[in-house]
Amino acid sequence: MPILLFTGPGGAGTTTLAAAAAVRAARAGRRAVLVTGQQPPSGAAGQPGLDVVRVDPQADLARFWAGRAAELTGAVPGLALPPATSVVPLPGTGELALLAAVGRVADTDTDVVVDAGPLAAAAALVALPGALRWWLDQALPTRVRVLAAVRTAAVRAGTLRRGAADVALGVVPELEALLDRQPLTDPGATAVWLVAPPRPAAVADLRRAATALAVHGQRPAGVLVRVLPGGGAGDWWAARLGEQEAALAALAGVAPVHPVPETASAPEDAGALAALLPDLPGPSAGPVPPAPERVEDGWRLTLPLPFAERADVALTRWEDELVVTAAGTRRSLRLDALLRRCVVTAGTLTAAGTDAARLEVGFAADPELWPADLLAAHAGDGGGHPGEERGTR
């Protein structure tokens, strides 16, 4: 199930170009699905081989609530719950509805094109699977899951009455199954395409988006830029084209630029949509997950954070997790067995503000967690001595 995810600043034409990519996939003889929260161009609905899934977060929430509310009132007599038409959506409901829609169309023979909306919403969508898994781990650690399994067995055997907790626990397997079908943070399965106008303001927006995506293991596959045609005359046109050329050069530093000619009117049919884009490359092998690298005084973990600035990056260690914050988003990375037995000795952002920016985290063996013979061997091979934990610098 290759996924093409489109996002860009508001008004950049993200929905139109996402629909164009879906139409091209269908015209190439592949089964395709366009998932969007916006009204897609009319031409997309008429393309054979293309299904359009329009996400309506409020309607999805109402359907979910209607089913769960009935279960809750059955499990808890006398409980008064509002009807589905009166439920107020929580922030993030839109991203969750889009994530669920992508999960429902998951199929190895389907090209999935996701219109993820504005840059902030797309970053939240990519972050959502990891965030949900983190909250599940906090709310239901292993010991709680064991107790929950025992309780579920007792309810099924009829020795325990079903209650509100059982209704809530019944949602967990569905959520975990949904998360198992989400490859949004895998560049080998999902290609993120940024859409932008050739304006200076778009450069800063897309650089910040690239940082936020990198926090969650993604990187832009390319930038689709709606460019003005040449041939105009006058000072205004010359100034506008000069601004466009400067923006194109700057955007090329974010990801490979693919110019898309601006049209005088919106595409009216599938053929006009398909003509907007060339064939875009799909997901490709991306950067491998960060792994510890042996260095003189211990180990180093390197996390690419293109365009990140020092003031915008924070690093903390909590138990067996390394928590990275940058560009307004946060990710918790579970450390492997080696680094769990180490202390953090340094966190350094190198090449800050450039596309080569990366966070380098130093680790040293924790003498309280390492067997004495291994610690001695570690010191003897040039590994040095355990250091004190410090923050990002």
Mean pLDDT in the chain?
A: 87
Residue 44 predicted with pLDDT over 60 = yes
Nearest to 198 by CA among 262, 256, 255, 117: 262
For residues 69 and 27, the model is more confident at 27
Q: What is the pLDDT of residue 119?
A: 94
Residue 337 predicted with pLDDT over 60 = yes
**Per this entry, what is the length of the chain?**
393
Q: What is the pLDDT of residue 372?
A: 61
Partners of 7 in beta bridges: 194
Q: What is the pLDDT of residue 392?
A: 42
Compute the radius of gyration of the chain from its Cα atoms: 25
Cα–Cα distance, 361 to 368 (Å, whole number): 20
Q: What count of other Cβ atoms lies within 10 Å of the Cβ of residue 337?
A: 7
pLDDT band of residue 279 (cuts 50, 70, 90) is confident
- pLDDT, average across residues 89-103: 91
Query: Distances in Å between the alpha carbon of 45 and those of 4, 13, 50, 379?
Result: 18, 18, 7, 66
Per-residue pLDDT of 134-158, as tens digits, reads 998 888 888 887 877 887 788 788 8
Structure tokens at 269: 């049919």
pLDDT band of residue 114 (cuts 50, 70, 90) is very high
Q: What is the pLDDT of residue 378?
A: 57
pLDDT band of residue 387 (cuts 50, 70, 90) is very low
Q: What is the pLDDT of residue 182?
A: 83
CATH of region 293-383: 2.60.40.790
pLDDT band of residue 269 (cuts 50, 70, 90) is confident
Structure tokens at 91: 């922030």
Cα 176 to its chain centre, rounded Å, is 17
Q: Is 315 exposed, middle or buried (0-12, 13-18, 19+ CB in 10 A)?
A: buried
Per-residue pLDDT of 156-190, as tens digits, reads 888 877 777 777 778 888 888 888 888 888 888 89
Per-residue pLDDT of 189-213, as tens digits, reads 899 999 999 999 999 999 999 999 9
Q: Is 3-274 in CATH node 3.40.50.300?
A: yes
Cα–Cα distance, 278 to 205 (Å, whole number): 25
Lowest mean pLDDT among 60-64, 200-204, 286-290, 343-347: 286-290
Per-residue pLDDT of 280-307, as tens digits, reads 887 876 666 788 999 988 999 999 999 9
Residues of the chain above pLDDT 90, percent: 49
Please, where are the H alpha helices in the chain?
14-27, 42-45, 57-75, 93-104, 119-139, 142-157, 164-180, 200-215, 235-251, 270-274, 337-340, 372-378
Q: What is the pLDDT of residue 20?
A: 94
Domain ranges of the chain: 3-274, 293-383
Q: What is the pLDDT of residue 386?
A: 40
Cα–Cα distance, 195 to 15 (Å, whole number): 10
CA within 13 Å, CB half, 120 = 3
With beta carbons less than 8 A apart as the criterion, state whether 301 and 344 touch. Answer: no
Residue 127 predicted with pLDDT over 60 = yes
pLDDT band of residue 376 (cuts 50, 70, 90) is low
Fold equal for 3-274 and 293-383: no
Cα–Cα distance, 106 to 103 (Å, whole number): 5
